Structures are given as C-alpha cells and as structure tokens.
Amino acid sequence: MKRDGWKGLLVPAAGVLLGALALVFGGGPAKENGFTLPGYHNADAKFLGEHVITSVEEGIQILDLEGNVIRGFEGLSASWLYVQEGDEGPVVAYSNHENETHILQLSGTDFEVGKDQMVLQTKTLAIDPVLLRDQDTWYLMHTLIEGTINNPDPKGENGTYTVRLYRSGDLTKWEYVTDVISRRQNLEDGDLRCVDGTFYYFFEMEQYDKGPSAICVMESEDQGKTWSEPRELLLAVADNEMASCEKTEDGWRLYVSSDYDCVGESYQGARVYYADYTPEFEPICTYQLSDMPDNQAVRLYEVKEIQGQTGFLFARNFLTDCDLLFRTLEKEEGGNQGK
C-alpha cells in the first residue's frame, strides 16, 4: 500500500526558480527525456491522457509532461488514484483516509470538474480503487482492510484484505457484485482488464509489508460474478510491486519494480523489470531489466505508450526523498528467461 503523500507543493515553483538562475549564471539545465520533481512526496500517480494526475498532501494535482502543475482541486481529499478514459472525458476513481471512494468526472482540456461524488463509504480503510468500462457497464473495485494495515513483521499477524467488486450503469448508483478475493495477506496494486469478454484481475500478494511478494492474476468469464483461483505470474522471491500488465500481439507484458537483484532493500533498491507471457500466461521471459533511464531505487506507478514511446511514471527513493519522475524509452524487445 502506498504511504501518505506530504510536502512538495512548492517544488514546481522551486524548480522553475533554479532553472532561471541556471540560465542567468550560464549553463542551462541538462536536457532530460521527461521531468524530475525532487522531494515531491506524493502518495500516488497515474497517467491522465498525456498528463499526470497525482495525490500530494491528500490533494489532487494535474501535471503536464514537463512537470508543471496545471490544475489543482481544492477540497478533494485523495491518497489512491485510478484513471479510466471515457467517451466524454477521463474518469478518476480515488479513495482517502476518511474511508471514502469517489468518482471524479473531468472534461475539457482544462480538466474541469464535471462531477465529484462519493460513491462508497466503508467502516474500515479502503485502498487501491480500480475502474473499468465494459460496453455500457462500469466496474469498480477497491480493497478493504480489517485489522493490521501493512504488518511489517514476518512473524506478526496481518490484517484481512478483501477485494470487493461493484458495477454501475451511470457512475452514480453502484451495485455490489462479489468479493473477488479475501486473504490475511497484503493484496495491493490491483488492475483490471477486459479482453474478449473475459475479466483479468492483476495484483500483488505479500505476506508482510516490503517482504517477498507474488504477482497474481485471476479470471472471470461471467462479468465478475465468479473468479478463478489466483495464478502466480511471478513467484514471491522478491518484493515485486506491480505497475501494469497489458495485452500485446503475442500475449501479455507485465511491468514491475522489484528488488530482485538486492532482495530485502524493497523500494530503496528496486529497479524496473518486465516479463512476457503467452495469451494463456505461460512465461516467455521473466525479470528482464528495463532500459528505462534512471532505473535505480524505483517505485513504479504506471507504464503507458505515449507519443509512440513507452512512458514510465515513478518515484525515486520512495521512503526518503520521494522524487517524482517521468521518463520515456523506445519500445523494448523481449529477452531470455531471467535468473
């Protein structure tokens, strides 16, 4: 589970000031393929078309791909975010520490608020909202936590994490469908896809916080009413934090940040890896180190194709400095089986 965001609201202005001073005193700033916001301390971040939406100090900001804040939303409290593009503009699901899950509808190039509505309120913390549109029906997931949150002790008792699914025809009235999975393990960083009528739910499953974790997939062929047992795509040999798993021409590609080469360092030592699978999730290659620039001490939020390149949105030194970075890379080709 991503920790609270804090600080960093003045970082973009500070970055502009430093850049101006560099130009005045000679030697302009080095060109980079993206942006770096030092000490941003944001809690979550996702791509919003060709922009970025992020939560900082429980508030929501929208950035351009140069790292400039172009919009803030006064009065909206968010820690966890998810974006689904809609016919009339992007739709954002977000949740917060008031145990609320909201639907935020945006419109126009200025991302005006069309509607913001709390659609679910729970007695305990609900994290990691996920939103999917399948034809005329919307599906919403979030993960309820009862008991200990983020248990750090391998011998300690973990809380119960339950992934709950709802559906709606209008983004306003939501009907409970089912509990997809419930375990006394951390179930985090979920993502939902629909391909040819089959739902695929991808998520991280770990025994204790920052410990070894598996990346799993579950399938549903009846619009989420029933689900298969979890299938492990990556075994719990490292702290694997899932960012995305997308359908490709040959099957699936999974991106994670992982301390695979330095087990036990978690976010502070993690790098970005990818794994390729057949359509049936048989492994083609795993733990392929990405050529993403600045691939050190990474907490990866999302990977998306932007302007013909692969865009990476991530934090650096998440538990300390928590810089926010955006980088781009030409398309990566698959490799051999990892170690």
Low-confidence ranges of the chain (pLDDT < 70): 1-31, 335-339
Q: What is the pTM of this model?
A: 0.89
- Using one digit for the tens of pLDDT, what is the confidence trace for 42-66? 999 999 999 999 999 999 999 999 9
Three-state secondary structure of 130-182: EEEEECCEEEEEEEEEECCCCCCCCCCCCCEEEEEEEEECCCCCCEEEEEEEE
Please tell me what DSSP assigns to residue 266: G
Residue 13 has φ and ψ, to the nearest 5°, of -65, -40
Question: How far is 189 from 196, CA to CA, in rounded Å?
Answer: 23
Cα–Cα distances in angstroms (integers) from residue 70 to residues 34, 39, 55, 66, 258, in the given order? 16, 19, 14, 11, 32
Residue 24 dihedral angles phi and psi, to the nearest 5°: -65, -45
Distance CA 88, CA 101 (A): 21
By C-alpha distance, which of 202, 121, 212 is closest to 163?
202
Q: Provide the pLDDT for residue 86.
A: 74
Q: Which of 146, 233, 238, 132 is nearest to 191 (CA)?
A: 132
Write down the pLDDT at residue 335: 57
In three-state secondary structure terms, 59 is strand
Q: Identity (one letter) of the amino acid at 254? A: L
Instruction: Give the burial string for 162-195 (b: 16+ CB within 10 Å, else e).
Output: bbbbbbeeebeebeebeebbeeebbbbbbbbbbe
79, 99 contact by CB (below 8 A): no
Q: Which of 328, 282, 322 is nearest to 303 (CA)?
A: 328
SS3 letters across 201-250 = EEEEEECCCCCCEEEEEEEECCCCCCCCCCEEEECCCCCEEEEEEEECCC
- How far, in Å, CA of 8 to CA of 124, rounded? 28
Backbone angles phi, psi at 267, to 5 degrees: -55, -35
- What is the pLDDT, as a whole number, of residue 73? 93
- 8-state DSSP, 317: S
pLDDT given at position 6: 33
